[in-house]
């Protein structure tokens, strides 16, 4: 619409530029008034020749006050009897013909471009020749022409723009969804069981975050699956081992109970006593085994969290030392406790650390032959206290030292009779120390003895 309006204005200006002198030139040729009276013939002539020159014009003859004396216009549709003289004066007085609009007698509300010239008799202005340059017809034609042209141009532009916008939009969507499609593909592949599917690193922009989040999530899921798998494997292994470990002492017990029942009458009281004491030992061992298995599986499943507190490791060592005295005496083993009295407190779980020392003492007393020696020593080591449990027993072959800490692993070298246990003692000790961010070491030489070491952090206030 704006374009249409501007184009129309431009056309009118051009019209005035081209035909602005038409009135002046015409007046020079003919005199429409003779002694104040209208020279009808002359006027007809003016009108005729002007209209021939430019059929789009409408010619008016005005008197000196602006009243319309006569006019040439088709259909005689004028609606006012006079026109305003102001624009006419402005037009006549201007040196450079300006773009100026005056009243159109046929459409008093509208302003049209025109040409005008004064009609002089002597020095007196007796009237004006007033020529509207763009007649109604032309206005109608140009406006409809322009209208349709602009409309066509406009609609063409509209469709071109729409099409362009559509293409740009589609391209944008395609680019945006390209990354999204990649992500969806990956998610689908992951869903279908390809746990290694990850969105490639090249993703940029807002999709980058989504891709990263998915990748992280996938990693977490895979890690969880792995953990579940390992827990599941452990559970299976545990069940298999437990049933085996428990069945053996149970079978022995069952055998003795059966014998006792069958030979009840014939059995000597001494034998009976022996059988019963074997039964007692077996049941003790069974309960110890169950305790160990339970403890180990809880540690493995991370169900035990250390409750750390500061305590005197020297006191704990003394307690344990005391408890093992009786057992050591039975085997005629010499026990020694070696520690400086001014050791710092340690920061650890008392119960769990006691379990570690017990497991190591169990082994030391179990494997060390009679008349042997077992030593507990405590020693400050930087910000830690080192605990060492040493014996002069059979030792562990170097090849086996690395795996005795794994569950169910027992040295092939060790006396099967003595081994007895489930092979869990060292595995439990290792797990407990891991919970304390510490570790366990072994030093051993065949036929010379074995030492186990571990450190606990000193408590600093
Ligand atoms: N002080 C030691 N002297 C010799 N061998 C040892 C000693 N401590 C542990 N071992 C070896 O390490 C193995 C694993 O020990 P452990 O985990 O306590 O299981 P278990 O005592 O039930 O056999 C033992 O079977 C034994 O072969
Ligand atoms: Mg043991």
Closest residue by CA, ligand 1 atom 7: 363
Which letter does DSSP use for residue 458 in this model? B
Q: Is a pLDDT exceeding 60 seen at residue 136?
A: no
Rg for the chain, CA atoms, rounded: 59
Instruction: Please give the backbone phi and psi of residue 227, each rounded to the nearest 5 degrees, phi first.
Output: -65, -45
Q: Please spell the DSSP secondary structure of 38-102, one letter per residue.
A: E-HHHHHHHHHHHHHH-TT-EEEEEETTSBEEEEE-GGG----SB--SHHHHHHHH-SSPP--EE
Of all atoms in ligand 1, which is nearest to the CA of residue 421? 22
Which ligand places an atom closest to the C-alpha of 424? 1
Q: How many CB atoms lie within 10 A of CB 133?
A: 24
Going from the Cα of 419 to the center of ligand 2, the distance in angstroms, rounded, reads 8
| Helical packing angle, 136-191 and 2-19, nearest 10° | 150
Tell me whether strands 334-339 and 373-381 are parallel, antiparallel or unpaired: parallel
Give pLDDT tens digits for 261-305.
Answer: 998 888 888 988 999 998 998 888 888 888 888 888 888 877 889
Q: Which two tokens stand for residue 4?
A: 């249409």
Q: How many CB atoms lie within 10 A of CB 227?
A: 11
**Residue in this structure with the two tokens 């006191």, named with its chain if needed:** 315
Going from the Cα of 274 to the center of ligand 1, the distance in angstroms, rounded, reads 28
Q: Which two tokens stand for residue 110?
A: 């509208």
Ligand 1 contacts (CB < 6 A) are 359, 363-364, 367, 391, 393-394, 396, 404, 410-411, 414, 419, 421-427, 450
Number of continuous H segments (helices) and E segments (strands) in the chain: 12, 14
Q: How far apart are CA 430 and CA 438, in angstroms?
A: 9
Give pLDDT tens digits for 207-241.
Answer: 788 888 889 999 999 999 988 888 788 778 777 77
Considering the entire predicted model, what is its pTM?
0.53
Which letter does DSSP use for residue 377 in this model? E
Going from the Cα of 346 to the center of ligand 1, the distance in angstroms, rounded, reads 27
Closest residue by CA, ligand 1 atom 24: 410
Q: How many CB atoms lie within 10 A of CB 313?
A: 23
**Residue in this structure with the two tokens 């059966």, named with its chain if needed:** 258
Q: How far apart are CA 92 and CA 113, in angstroms?
A: 13
Q: Residue 24's pLDDT is what? A: 81
| Max mean pLDDT range (28-37, 49-58, 338-347) | 338-347
Check if the beta carbon of residue 21 is closer than 8 Å to that of residue 115: yes
Q: Residue 141's pLDDT is what? A: 64
Q: Residue 145's pLDDT is what? A: 67
The closest alpha carbon to 389, from 316, 458, 460, 310, belongs to: 316
Going from the Cα of 438 to the center of ligand 2, the distance in angstroms, rounded, reads 20
Check if the beta carbon of residue 367 is closer than 8 Å to that of residue 394: yes
């Amino acid at each position: 619409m704006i374009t249409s309006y501007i184009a129309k204005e431009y056309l009118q200006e051009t019209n005035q530029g081209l035909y602005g002198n038409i009135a002046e030139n015409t007046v020079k040729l003919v005199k429409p008034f003779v002694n104040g009276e209208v020279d009808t013939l002359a006027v007809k002539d003016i009108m005729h020749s002007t209209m021939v020159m430019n059929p789009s014009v409408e010619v008016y003859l005005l008197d000196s006050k602006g009243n319309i004396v006569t006019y040439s216009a088709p259909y005689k549709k004028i609606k006012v009897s006079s026109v305003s003289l102001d624009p006419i004066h402005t037009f006549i007085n201007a040196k450079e013909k300006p773009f100026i609009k005056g009243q159109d007698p046929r459409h008093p509300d509208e302003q049209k471009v025109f040409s005008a010239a004064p009609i002089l008799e002597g020095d007196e202005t007796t009237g004006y020749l007033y020529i509207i340059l763009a007649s109604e017809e032309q206005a109608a034609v140009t406006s409809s022409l322009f209208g349709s042209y602009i409309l066509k141009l406009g609609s063409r532009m509209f469709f071109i723009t729409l099409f362009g916008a559509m293409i740009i939009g589609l391209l944008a969507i395609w680019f945006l969804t390209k990354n999204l499609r990649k992500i969806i593909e990956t998610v689908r592949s992951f869903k279908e069981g390809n746990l290694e599917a990850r969105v490639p690193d090249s993703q940029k922009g807002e999709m980058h975050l989504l891709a990263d989040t998915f990748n992280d999530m996938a990693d977490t899921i895979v890690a969880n699956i792995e953990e579940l798998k390992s827990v599941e494997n452990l559970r299976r292994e545990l069940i298999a081992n437990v049933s085996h470990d428990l069945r053996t002492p149970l079978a022995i017990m069952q055998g003795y109970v059966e014998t006792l029942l069958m030979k009840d009458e014939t059995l000597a009281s001494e034998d009976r006593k022996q059988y019963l004491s074997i039964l007692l030992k077996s049941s003790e061992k069974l309960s110890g085994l169950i305790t160990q298995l339970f403890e180990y599986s809880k540690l493995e499943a991370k169900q035990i969290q250390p409750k750390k507190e500061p305590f005197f490791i020297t006191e704990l060592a003394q307690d344990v030392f005391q408890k093992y005295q009786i057992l050591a005496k039975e085997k005629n083993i010499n026990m020694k406790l070696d520690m400086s009295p001014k050791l710092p407190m340690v920061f650890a779980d008392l119960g769990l650390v006691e379990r570690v020392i017990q497991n190591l003492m169990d082994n030391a007393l179990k494997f060390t032959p009679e008349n042997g020696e077992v030593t507990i020593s405590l020693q400050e080591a930087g910000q830690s206290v080192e605990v060492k449990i040493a014996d002069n027993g059979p030792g562990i072959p170097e090849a086996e030292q690395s795996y005795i800490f794994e569950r169910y692993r027992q040295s092939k070298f060790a006396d099967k009779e003595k081994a007895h246990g489930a092979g869990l003692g060292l595995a439990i000790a290792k797990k407990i120390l891991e919970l304390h961010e510490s570790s366990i070491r072994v030093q051993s030489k065949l036929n010379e003895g074995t030492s186990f070491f571990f450190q606990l952090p000193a408590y600093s206030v």
